[in-house]
Chains A and B, each alone.
Chain A
Amino acid sequence: MMAVDLTSWIRRKKSVEPAIDNRTFDLLSITVALVLVVHASHLPWWLSIGLALILGWRWWQRRQQTGRVPAWLKIPVLALLTLAVIISYGNIFGREPGTALAVGLLVLKLLETETPRDIRVGAGFACFALMSALLIDQGLVVTFVVAIGLLPALATLRALEPAQQQTSLPHTLLPGLGLLAAALPMALLAFLLVPRLSEPLWGAPTPDEAHTGLSDSMSPGNFTDLLTDDRPALRVTFDREVPPPDLRYFRAYVMWEFDGRSWRRPFVRRGENQSATPIEAATTIGYSISLVPTHQRVLPALDVALNAPAQAQLLSDHEIVADKPVNDQLSYTLRSALRYRLQPELDDRARRLGLQRPIGFNPRTLALATQWRQQFGHNDAAIVQAALSLFHDGGFRYTLAPASLGRDSIDDFLFFTHEGFCEHYSSAFTMLMRDAGIPARVVTGYQGGFWNKLGNYLLVRNSDAHAWSEVWLEGRGWVRVDPTGAVRPERVSLGAAAAAGDQLSWYRNDWLQGVRNRWDIVNRWWDQGVIGFDSLRQRGLLTPFGVRDMDTATLGLLLAIGSVVFIAIGLGWALLRRKPRDELREALRELEKTLARKGIVRRPSEGPQHYLSRAARALPHQRDELATLMTHYLELRYANDIPAPEPLRAFQRAVRDFRVVSVVK
Chain B
Amino acid sequence: MRGMLQRLQTWAERRLPALTRYRRPETLPIELHRRRIYIVPTMFGLGFSILLLVMLVGALNYSNNAALLLTCLLGAASSTSMLFGFRSLDGLRLTQIRAGHAVAGQPIELTLTFETLRTRSAIRLDIDDAFTAFAIDANGTAAVKLTLQTFDRGWLPLPRIRLWTTWPLGLFRAWSWLHPDQSVLVWPRSELSGPPPRAPADDARHMRLYRGDELAALREYRPGDPQRHIAWKASAHHDNLLVKDFEQPQNRPQWQLDWRLLTSMDSESRIARLARWIGEAQAERRSYSLWVPGTEIAASSGPLHYANCMSTLAQLP
Contacts and interface: CB of A to CB of B under 8 A. Distances in A.
B296 to A, nearest CB: 41
B291 interface: no
B54 to A, nearest CB: 7
B83 A570 contact: yes
Contact of B134 (A11, A163, A180): A163
Contacts of A310: none
Interface stretch (B63-71, B212-220, B244-252): B63-71
Interface in A1-59: 1-8, 10-12, 15
B315 interface: no
A534 B87 CA distance: 38
Interface residues of A, number: 71
Contact of B76 (A120, A183, A201): A183
B16 to A, nearest CB: 8
Contacts, number: 195
Contacts of A124: 44, 47-48, 51
A580 interface: yes
B210 interface: no
A134 B122 contact: no
Given A128-B54, A163-B123, A163-B133, A186 B76 contact: yes
A161 interface: yes
A1 B72 CA distance: 27
Interface string B124-137: 10100101011100
What range describes how many residues of B lie at the interface? 35 or more
A538 to B, nearest CB: 10
B38 interface: yes
A146 B55 CA distance: 14
A256 to B, nearest CB: 34
A164 B121 contact: yes
Given A128-B54, A158-B168, A161-B166, A3 B19 contact: yes
Interface string A449-480: 00000000000000000000000000000000
A153 to B, nearest CB: 9
Given A8-B162, A161-B122, A165-B135, A135 B169 contact: no
30 contacts: A3-B20, A3-B38, A6-B5, A7-B2, A7-B6, A10-B1, A124-B51, A131-B55, A131-B67, A134-B59, A134-B70, A138-B67, A147-B73, A150-B73, A157-B170, A158-B167, A163-B121, A164-B121, A187-B69, A187-B73, A190-B75, A191-B72, A194-B72, A197-B60, A197-B63, A204-B62, A570-B83, A574-B83, A577-B90, A580-B139
Interface of A: 1-8, 10-12, 15, 95, 116, 120, 124, 127-128, 130-132, 134-135, 138-139, 142-143, 146-147, 150, 154, 157-158, 160-165, 175, 179-180, 182-184, 186-188, 190-191, 194, 196-197, 200-202, 204-205, 530-534, 570-571, 573-575, 577-578, 580
Given A128-B54, A130-B70, A160-B170, 19 more contacts: A1-B39, A4-B9, A6-B8, A116-B170, A127-B74, A138-B64, A138-B66, A146-B66, A150-B74, A163-B135, A179-B81, A182-B80, A183-B76, A190-B76, A194-B72, A200-B62, A204-B62, A204-B63, A574-B83
